[in-house]
Homo-oligomer: A and B are copies of this chain.
Amino acid sequence: MPKIVNKEQKRKDIAIACSELIHEIGIKKLTVSKCAKTANIGKGTIYEYFESKEDIIFEIINLHIEQYHTQFIQSIKNVKSSKEKVFHFFKFVLDDSIENTKLFNSYREYLSIVLSEDNVNMKNFNVNCDVFFKTQLEKIIQDGIDNKELISQAIEFCEGLLIYEKGLALMKMTNNDFDTKVSSKKFINNLFELIEIKKEK
């Protein structure tokens, strides 16, 4: 009986094996050879499970984002106020820990590829990501409205916040003078000033 290999699982396995690699050397310097060596398989074998080098990168980034999604859901579980939850939502751009910086840089390089080519897989994947985060944001805001924290129009700003977060990431990536933390705090505070229901004393 021949060994039955679960292709989808092996894709994941290879991606997991190369997960760190992409942080260490960056996407640009990632070669198929290095991937094969890191995953302890032959170069040719890579092509049994991936269509192209980009496909590998895609799978690895996919993995990272999936992990990030899980973490995100976990992280806002015990957060009470809507504003705080929104700040958690911005963690990806605001957190300067080594761990998150690696993630952020990988995403920057990934973005560079997405912008220079026209990869359908990648674009679809982006759509999914956007949907995930928009859904999360809507849940956060709707909870806030239900709790009488936020005015009902607040729900209209979900997409705007999502887009603002993207712009924030882009700013951080392209403008060294830009103070991401100060700017985002100011924006969110000002926005909440307008959409929060003032508590009576």
Chain A residues with CB under 8 Å of chain B are: 2, 28, 44, 108-109, 111-116, 122-123, 126-127, 130, 153, 156-157, 159-160, 162-171, 173-178, 183, 186-187, 190-191, 193-195
Contact = CB atoms under 8 A, between A and B. Distances in A.
A153 B193 contact: yes
Number of copies: 4
Given A123-B174, A123-B176, A167-B168, A186 B112 contact: no
B163 A127 contact: no
Contacts of A190: 153, 156-157, 160
Nearest to A108: B115
A163 B177 contact: no
Nearest to A164: B164
A127 B168 contact: no
21 contacts: A2-B44, A108-B115, A109-B116, A111-B112, A111-B115, A112-B112, A113-B116, A123-B176, A130-B178, A156-B186, A157-B187, A159-B183, A160-B164, A160-B186, A163-B171, A164-B167, A165-B167, A166-B171, A167-B170, A170-B170, A194-B194
Nearest to A154: B190
Nearest to A163: B167
B109 A115 contact: yes
Given A111-B112, A153-B193, 4 more contacts: A112-B113, A115-B173, A123-B174, A166-B170
